[in-house]
C-alpha cells in the first residue's frame, strides 16, 4: 500500500496569479488564505472549505498540469517505500510547510509528497497579502 496521507494541496500553474486570485475568490467564491510575492514569484492559496485541499496558484510552476501534493509523516520513509515498489523519485525541494518530493510518473499527471515540518506557517502566512 502506498504511504500517502491526505491530499493537502493542489498546486496549479498560473500565468497571472493576481488575476487568478480574483477569479477564484470573486467569481468562484473561494477564500484567500495568502498572496505572497517573493524572490520574483507570486504564490497564493485559496480554500473552498476546510475539508477540501487548498488550491495553490503559482506563477513559477512550470508546465500546464497541476501537482497533487500529499502529506506524509516521514518523507524519507515514504519515498523509500515507493522506490521499493518501483516508483522513481523526482526533484526534492522545499516549500513553506516543509520538504517536498516530486514523483516521476509515466503520464502527464504530477504528484508530490511532503512532510509537514513547519506547521507554524499556517499562522505566519494567514492573511498575508502582497499583491
Residue range 40-89, pLDDT digits in tens: 999 999 999 989 999 999 999 999 999 999 999 999 999 999 999 999 99
Tell me how far CA of residue 106 lies from CA of 61, 71, 103, in angstroms.
19, 22, 10
7-125 has which CATH code? 3.10.180.10
Residue range 95-110, pLDDT digits in tens: 899 999 999 999 999 9
Entry pTM: 0.92
Where do the DSSP E strands lie in 2-108? 7-13, 31-38, 41-47, 54-58, 67-72, 88-95, 98-104
Residue range 4-35, pLDDT digits in tens: 899 999 999 999 999 999 999 999 999 999 99
Q: Residue 9 — left, alpha, or beta (φ > 0 → left; ψ -120 to 50 → alpha)?
A: beta
C-alpha distance across the termini of the chain, in Å: 42
> In the chain, where are the structural domains located?
7-125
Amino acid at each position: 500500500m502506498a504511504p500517502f496521507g491526505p491530499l493537502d494541496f493542489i498546486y496549479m500553474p498560473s500565468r497571472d496569479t493576481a488575476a487568478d486570485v480574483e477569479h477564484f475568490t470573486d467569481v468562484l467564491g473561494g477564500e484567500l488564505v495568502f498572496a505572497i510575492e517573493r524572490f520574483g514569484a507570486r504564490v497564493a492559496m485559496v480554500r473552498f472549505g476546510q475539508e477540501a485541499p487548498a488550491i495553490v496558484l503559482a506563477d513559477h510552476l512550470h508546465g500546464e498540469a497541476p501537482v497533487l501534493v500529499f502529506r506524509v509523516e516521514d518523507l524519507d520513509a515514504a519515498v523509500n517505500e515507493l522506490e521499493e515498489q518501483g516508483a522513481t523519485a523526482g526533484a526534492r525541494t522545499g516549500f513553506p510547510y516543509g520538504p517536498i518530493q516530486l514523483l516521476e510518473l509515466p503520464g502527464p499527471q504530477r504528484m508530490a509528497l511532503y512532510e509537514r515540518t513547519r506547521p507554524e506557517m499556517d499562522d505566519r502566512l494567514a492573511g498575508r497579502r502582497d499583491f
